[in-house]
Amino acid sequence: MFSFPEKFKAKITDIVDLNSSTSSYMFEVVEGNCSYKAGQFVMLDFESPFEKSERVQRAYSVASRPNGKVFELCIERIKGGQAGTFLSSVQKDDVLDFKGPFGHCTLKDKESKQLIFAATGTGIAPIKAILEDLVQMQAENSIKVYFGMRYLKDLYYLTELKNLISNLKNAKLDICISKPENADHSYHTGRIQTQFDIESWDENTVVYACGNGNMVRDVRSKALVAGVDKKQILVEIFDS
């Protein structure tokens, strides 16, 4: 069922640092309503820390499946940016303004037998939410998740992703580090696109790509060449 975007307020219930620039923000809706589907995003509305009379909006994908009034955002703070400066100043119990949900990068009523998820950086947020939904649904699809980061030290959600994958009957997780600092054979090196088995992609495949624009465009191109229907290629670009 489609939900029209609406304004709502949510209180920060917890903030957990995932790496030096990215944090998990837990919220509870305290005014209004946010009925979203896993994979959708919300708009954060806040007063500019540089121009007090100016309102700023930023889009953030929800990192958790629908769970009443509680939701999680995974946010990278860009140093010196409007949102980064604002989010560095917030704390537990602060109430923030939102509007949403938005986006169509969600599970369909009748999913194809093979699901491919490709994410870089905070692009893993909507995919984490969708995986939580798939676990709840006891999905039996063939599922492959590719998660890429530049540096191993910045990797996050690894425990959560492994737990989700272990609770799905036919799922696999590939972690790719594009700038490895030392040899670690438990992860692939290079960009996630190098790990794709596109020969197995066909008209029965749905591809989700979220993250860096170059990666998303490359994945979309590869999927089209492999014969995936363009309507079954769902993307969200997370460029700074």
Tell me the per-residue pLDDT of 192-228, one tens digit each, with 9 for 90 and over. 988 888 889 998 999 999 999 999 999 999 999 999 9
Q: At 118, phi and psi to the nearest 5?
A: -125, 125
Architecture of domain 6-102: Beta Barrel (2.40)
Both tokens assigned to 18: 């995932």
Query: Quick one: pLDDT at residue 162?
Result: 97
| Higher pLDDT, residue 108 or 226 | 226
User: Averaged over 63-78, what is the pLDDT?
Assistant: 96
How high does pLDDT run on average in the chain?
93
The mean pLDDT of 90-95, rounded to a whole number, is 98
Alpha-carbon span 111 to 58, nearest angstrom: 30
Ranges of each domain in the chain = 6-102, 114-237
Contacts of 214 (CB under 8 A, 6+ apart): none
Give me the pLDDT at residue 195, please: 86
Round to whole Å and give the CA distance between 106 and 234: 8
Residue 163 φ/ψ region, left for φ over 0, alpha for ψ in the -120 to 50 degree band, beta for the rest: alpha
Distance CA 40, CA 31 (A): 20
Lowest mean pLDDT segment, chosen from 167-171, 185-189, 193-197: 185-189
CB neighbours of 182 closer than 8 A, spacing ≥ 6? Answer: none
Going by pLDDT thresholds of 50, 70 and 90, the confidence category of residue 113 is confident
Q: Count of CB atoms within 10 A of residue 214's CB?
A: 13
Residues shown for the chain: 240
Burial class (CB in 10 A: 0-12, 13-18, 19+), 204: middle
22-63 pLDDT per residue, tens? 999 999 999 999 999 999 999 999 999 998 889 999 999 999
Q: Assign a CATH topology to domain 114-237.
A: Rossmann fold (3.40.50)
Count the neighbouring beta carbons within 10 Å of the beta carbon of residue 159. 8
pLDDT, residue 185, reads: 65
- Judged against a pLDDT cut of 80, whether residue 1 lies above it is answered with no
- Reduce the secondary structure of the chain to three states and give it as a string: CCCCCEEEEEEEEEEEECCCCEEEEEEEEEEECCCCCCCCEEEEEEECCCCCCCEEEEEEEECCCCECCEEEEEEECCCCCHHHHHHHHCCCCCEEEEEEEECCCCCCCCCCCEEEEEEEHHHHHHHHHHHHHHHHHCCCCEEEEEEEECCHHHCCCHHHHHHHHHCCCCEEEEEEECCCCCCCCCCEECCHHHHCCHHHCCCCEEEEEEECHHHHHHHHHHHHHCCCCHHHEEEEECCC
Token pair in block for residue 148:
């890429």
